[in-house]
Amino acid sequence: MEIWHLRYFVAAAEEGTVARAADRLHMAASPLSRRIRDLERELGVALFVRAHHRLELTPDGADLLPRAADVVARFDAIAESAAPARMTVGIAPDVSAASRDLVLAAIAEACPGVEVVLAPAHTGPLLASLRAGDLGLAVAHGPIEEPGVDSVLLERRRSYAVVGRGTALGDRTSVHLSELADLAFASIDATAAPALYGRLDEALRAAGVHRRATVADSNFAGVAQLVAAGQAFTLSTRDTGTAARLLRDEDVVFLEVDGAGALSTHAVWGTARIIADPRVRDAVAAIRRAAAGGSAEP
């Protein structure tokens, strides 16, 4: 039996439904339901009567609830007193100031007195650190499809095709991906954000764009130089981020593009850490509230 078994049981008992308990714990309903059944098997008793999506405590469940709630509360008190007054938050390149500041403000609200240390890294390594439990929170780019993590959308920003002004498309204002087939697609290595670049690669191939110009070492300046020289195109947001700033310094044009989608930014957390660390839980709840009140670019 682990502490999270008891935490799941207490949440389900207090909320009365698996769905509400899962929402409270910032996780999906199916694994929560499975873990509660695992606890019942381990104890050898039924803790709930399940009917019409409602959970009602059995006599054994009612007997366990106050003791389980006390254990969880004591565990959280120990975790809070032992935890250093510092939280490391991973942050990916090209995260906008709006998304970064929303997360920092939410953490400050939920965890007063906790120093936040930003740890810049690409999305791929950040997700690996979250899965391993080495990091509690990160701000990264979607899609977020990794097991062992969960996320909330912070914003979407339009992607533009960027070409050199001297290319055949340099006098256009919009373009379809298929019209870029004569140029190579320039980017940093796909390991920076595997899910993002994987989806993008599928869209490019479907549009007939097969050539790639991959620049090593996260060299966004190198990408900008290839584009400005007319040897490749890239996809980028226009107003914020390192890549956009470097591109704006070159003689390029940003074209509205059909079929490229948008760059999404998410607050992401490890599902194991959110159970074990009450500060991460409180921070995620505050981030969810703040994100629900925000707006996303179409």
Per-residue pLDDT at 25: 84
Per-residue pLDDT at 298: 37
Q: What is the CATH number of the domain that holds 45?
A: 1.10.10.10
Asked if the model's pLDDT at residue 246 lies above 90, the reply is yes
Range of the domain at 278: 86-155+264-294
Claim to verify: residue 141 and residue 284 sit in the same structural domain: yes
Which of 29, 57, 81 is where one domain is finished? Answer: 81
- Candidates 175, 174, 181, 188; CA nearest to 141 is 188
Task: Give dist(CA 9, CA 35) in Å, integer.
Answer: 9
Asked if the model's pLDDT at residue 110 lies above 80, the reply is yes
For the chain, the average pLDDT equals: 90
Task: Give dist(CA 107, CA 223) in Å, integer.
Answer: 35
Claim to verify: residue 94 and residue 54 sit in the same structural domain: no
Total residue count of the chain as it appears in this document: 298
Contact 98, 155 (CB under 8 A): yes
Residue 205, φ and ψ in degrees, nearest 5:
-65, -40
Q: pLDDT of 124-133, one tens digit each? A: 999 999 988 8
Residue 210, φ and ψ in degrees, nearest 5:
-115, -20
**241 torsion bin: left (phi>0), alpha (psi -120 to 50), beta (else):** left
Strands (E), 20-173: 48-51, 54-57, 86-91, 115-120, 137-141, 149-158, 160-164
Q: How many CA atoms lie within 13 A of 251 on its CB side?
A: 7
Claim to verify: residue 54 and residue 145 sit in the same structural domain: no
At 297, the pLDDT band (50, 70, 90 cuts) reads: very low
Q: What is the CATH number of the domain that holds 239?
A: 3.40.190.290
Contact 184, 232 (CB under 8 A): yes
If you average pLDDT over residues 80-109, what whole number do you get?
88
Which of 81, 96, 118 is where one domain is finished? Answer: 81
Claim to verify: residue 137 and residue 277 sit in the same structural domain: yes
Contacts of 108 (CB under 8 A, 6+ apart): 114, 116
Q: What is the CATH number of the domain that holds 107?
A: 3.40.190.10
Claim to verify: residue 34 and residue 66 sit in the same structural domain: yes
Claim to verify: residue 123 and residue 166 sit in the same structural domain: no
Claim to verify: residue 164 and residue 253 sit in the same structural domain: yes
Residue burial 245-257, b: 16+ Cβ < 10 Å; e: rest? ebbeebebbbbeb
Contacts of 103 (CB under 8 A, 6+ apart): 89, 137, 139, 154, 267, 287
Claim to verify: residue 72 and residue 216 sit in the same structural domain: no
Contact 131, 218 (CB under 8 A): no
Per-residue pLDDT at 296: 45
Asked if the model's pLDDT at residue 83 lies above 70, the reply is no
Contacts of 183 (CB under 8 A, 6+ apart): 163, 167, 209, 211, 231, 232, 233
Claim to verify: residue 17 and residue 37 sit in the same structural domain: yes
Task: Give dist(CA 94, CA 82) in Å, integer.
Answer: 34
Contact 248, 273 (CB under 8 A): no
Asked if the model's pLDDT at residue 46 lies above 70, the reply is yes
Q: pLDDT of 220-234, one tens digit each? A: 999 999 999 999 999
- Candidates 100, 202, 185; CA nearest to 141 is 100
Claim to verify: residue 69 and residue 98 sit in the same structural domain: no
Claim to verify: residue 231 and residue 93 sit in the same structural domain: no
Which of 60, 81, 102 is where one domain is finished? Answer: 81
Claim to verify: residue 128 and residue 268 sit in the same structural domain: yes
Number of domains forming the structure of the chain: 3
